[in-house]
Amino acid sequence: MKKEEVPQDESCFSHTNMKEVVYAVDKDGKYGKALSSGWEAKTIALNESLDLIEEQLQETIQKIKEGELSPIAYYMESQRMDVVVLSGYVGIWQWKVKRHLKAKTFKKLSDKTLKKYAEAFEISLEELKNPKI
């Protein structure tokens, strides 16, 4: 990549003062750092993945409304977590967390357990029981 070819496209850090370092050659072929404000090809890839996360979240919301999944599934996905990460934050075994994602099991959970989840998501117990979705 030549320094004049370093892309300066719009990206998610266009609205901040952040730029990222890339390595590129100058006219004499000497390497050095150059700053890029973003690159379209990369932004498209990132947006594709964010869209997928959003799509997944909508599906989950639907399933919660249908009484299949619990609000834990919603908060987990909206904070971009998966079972492994969430299990780490609440200190509960993964297989148990997986069960807590089901609406049926969720109803039987004690406030003590629910509190662990609320703390991990940084929300109140009330918000966990009645999510605004």
Rounded CA gap, 43 and 34, in Å? 19
Q: Quick check: helix, strand or coil at residue 37? A: coil
Buried/exposed code over 53-78 (b: 16+ C-beta within 10 A; e: otherwise): eeeebeebbebbeeeebbbbbbbbbb
Nearest to another protein of 57, 129 (CB atom): 57
Where on the chain is the footprint of another protein (CB under 8 A)?
A: 1, 6, 12-13, 16-25, 29-33, 35-36, 39-42, 44-46, 48-50, 52-53, 56, 79-82, 84-85, 88-89
To another protein, the closest distance from the beta carbon of 118 in angstroms equals: 16
To another protein, the closest distance from the beta carbon of 76 in angstroms equals: 11
Nearest to another protein of 81, 129 (CB atom): 81
Nearest to another protein of 56, 62 (CB atom): 56
Q: Which two tokens stand for residue 106?
A: 């969720």
Rounded CA gap, 108 and 41, in Å? 47
Nearest to another protein of 81, 103 (CB atom): 81
